[in-house]
Structure 1
Amino acid sequence: MKKILVSFALFFTACASYEVTPTGHTMKTTTDYMGVITKHSDSVRRYSGFYNILDMESTIITSQVAQAQLEQSAMLYQWDEARFAEEKAKFETRLNRESEIFLSFYTPDRKNDDLFKKNTIWKIFLDVEGKRYEGRATKLKLQLVEIEGLYPYHNRFYTPYSIIFPVPMRSIEDKPIKLTVTGAVGAGVMEFKP
C-alpha cells in the first residue's frame, strides 16, 4: 500500500514540473506563464447604461514578463540557442531604453478605435512617482493566434496595440505604475503594482 501511495505522489509531482525547451532552457508550465501575465495585467470596462462604450485590458512588459515571453516563444517556436540569445538581447535593449505596455482595446464604434493615428481622439499616459509620460500607440500586425498565445485575454473583437513610453522600464518596474487612456468616448486607469 505504501508503494502505491509513493508511486502516485511521484506521478503527480512530475506533472507539476517544468518543461525543457530543445535548447535546454527550462520553461514554466502554461499555468505559471498565465500567473506572470495575470500579475502584471489590469483591465477597465466602461458602460453607459447597458451599452458598453469602452473595454481595455493591458499587460506591462517588465523584465519578468519579458523573460516569461522569451521562454514561451522559445518553447513554441523551438528556437535554437543563437535565436534565443538574439531575441533576449532585443528585449534587454528595449527594457533599458523604453517602457512598453500591451493594450487590448475595444470600443463598439470602429471609427473611435484609432489609437495608432497621428490625430487620434485619445491620449495615453504613464504615471510613475508623480511624473507623467505620454505614450505612442502602434497597432500590432501579428496573427490573432500569436497574440492570444502571449496574451490569452485578447480576442478577435479587440484591437492589439503596443504602447511605448520614453522612460526605461528597468528604472520604473519596481514602482507603482498607472496607465491612463482618455478621450472623448471615455477614460480608464489601469494600475500595476511592483
Structure 2
Amino acid sequence: MKYILLLSFLLSACASYEVTPSGRALRTESEYFMTIDKYSDSTRRYSGLYNLIDMEGTVLNSKVIADQLDQMTRLYLWDEKKFADEQVKAQERMSKETEIFLAFFTPDKKNDDASKPKTVWRVFLDVDGRRFEGKVVKLKTQLPQLIALYPYHNRFYTPYQITFPVAIKSIETREMKMTVTGPVGSGILTFKPL
C-alpha cells in the first residue's frame, strides 16, 4: 500500500505542461501556486487574544510575473499577441518599480485605509540597508481573479498593490523586508531572493 502511495505521489510531482494553440508551453497551475508560495510571506499580530492585523503578501519579481502571465493566459485564453503585449507592459514596470501584492486585514474597518492620503499606515521596503517608501493603491479587481492569482487571499482581506521607486530587476536577487507600521500595530513580510 505504501508503495502505491509513493508511486502516486511521484507521478503527481512530475511536471506537465499545457500548450497554447501556437505551441508555447505554459507552466501548470500547481507550479504557479508553488511559485506564489515561495515568494510570499505572512504575519499576524495580536494584543492578547485580540487580533490587530493580518498580512499576506507576494513580491512580483521576474519569476512571479512570468508565471502570472502563464496563469492569465490559461484563465483568459490569451492569444500570442495579447500575451506579448502584457509581457512588454510587465517588463516596463519591472524596469522602473517594485510591486508587492498585499492582502491586509484589521478588525476595525476605520483603520483599513492604507491607500488614503491621511492614512495611519506607513509602508517601507528595506533592501541592503536602503529604505524605500511605498505608494499604496487599493485594488478593485474582482475576488475570483484575485484568488486565482493569490490563493491565500479571501473576502475578509483588503487587496492592495504597493509600489516602490526601485526597479525589481536591480534588487530581486537580495532579501527584501516590507514593513507596514502605524499606531494600530506593525508587521514585517520577508521575501526570499530570486
TM-score (norm. length: structure 2) = 0.91
**CA distance in structure 2 between the partners assigned to 1:14 and 1:148 by the alignment:** 23
**CA distance in structure 2 between the partners assigned to 1:75 and 1:28 by the alignment:** 9
C-alpha deviation, 1:25, in angstroms: 2.4
Counting only pairs closer than 5 Å after superposition, residues 105-116 of structure 1 correspond to structure 2 as 105-116=104-115
2:3 paired residue number: none
Q: Is residue 2:51 matched to residue 1:52? A: yes
C-alpha deviation, 1:15, in angstroms: 7.2
Q: Is residue 2:74 matched to residue 1:78? A: no
CA 1:13–1:120 in structure 2 vs 1: closer, same or farther (change >3 Å)? closer
2:177 paired residue number: 178
1:151 paired residue number: 150
CA contact (8 A) 1:61 1:101 kept: yes
Q: Letter of the aligned partner of 2:51 in structure 1?
A: N
C-alpha deviation, 1:27, in angstroms: 1.6
Q: Name stretches of at least 5 consecutive residues in structure 2 with no aligned partner.
A: 1-6
Q: Letter of the aligned partner of 2:106 in structure 1?
A: T
CA 1:68–1:114 in structure 2 vs 1: closer, same or farther (change >3 Å)? same
C-alpha deviation, 1:73, in angstroms: 0.2
1:4 paired residue number: none
C-alpha deviation, 1:57, in angstroms: 0.2
CA 1:82–1:125 in structure 2 vs 1: closer, same or farther (change >3 Å)? same
C-alpha deviation, 1:13, in angstroms: 7.4
- Look at both structures and tell me which one has the larger radius of gyration over its CA atoms: 1
| Aligned-residue CA RMSD (Å) | 1.7
CA 1:38–1:182 in structure 2 vs 1: closer, same or farther (change >3 Å)? same
**CA distance in structure 2 between the partners assigned to 1:14 and 1:162 by the alignment:** 32
Identity within the alignment, %:
55
**CA distance in structure 1 between the partners assigned to 2:121 and 2:13 by the alignment:** 49
**CA distance in structure 2 between the partners assigned to 1:21 and 1:32 by the alignment:** 17
Q: Name stretches of at least 5 consecutive residues in structure 1 with no aligned partner.
A: 1-7
**CA distance in structure 2 between the partners assigned to 1:116 and 1:110 by the alignment:** 13
**CA distance in structure 2 between the partners assigned to 1:173 and 1:78 by the alignment:** 29
- Once the two structures are overlaid, the 10-residue window that deviates more, 14-23 or 179-188, is 14-23
Give every structure 1 segment of 4 or more consecutive aligned residues whose post-TM-superposition deviation is greater than 3 Å.
12-16
**CA distance in structure 2 between the partners assigned to 1:57 and 1:168 by the alignment:** 22
C-alpha deviation, 1:16, in angstroms: 4.1
CA 1:13–1:189 in structure 2 vs 1: closer, same or farther (change >3 Å)? closer
Q: Deviations over 1:132-188 (max 9, x none)?
A: 000010000010000000000000000000000000000000011100000010000
Q: Is residue 2:35 matched to residue 1:36? A: yes
**CA distance in structure 1 between the partners assigned to 2:166 and 2:66 by the alignment:** 19
SS in 1 for 2:113: coil
**CA distance in structure 1 between the partners assigned to 2:178 and 2:61 by the alignment:** 14
**CA distance in structure 2 between the partners assigned to 1:71 and 1:86 by the alignment:** 13
SS in 2 for 1:88: helix
C-alpha deviation, 1:35, in angstroms: 0.7
2:18 paired residue number: 19
**CA distance in structure 1 between the partners assigned to 2:145 and 2:21 by the alignment:** 20
SS in 2 for 1:191: strand
**CA distance in structure 2 between the partners assigned to 1:46 and 1:21 by the alignment:** 44
2:4 paired residue number: none
Q: Deviations over 1:1-56 (max 9, x none)?
A: xxxxxxx99xx579741111234321222211111001100001011111111000
Question: Paired residues, what number?
Answer: 185
**CA distance in structure 2 between the partners assigned to 1:125 and 1:55 by the alignment:** 17
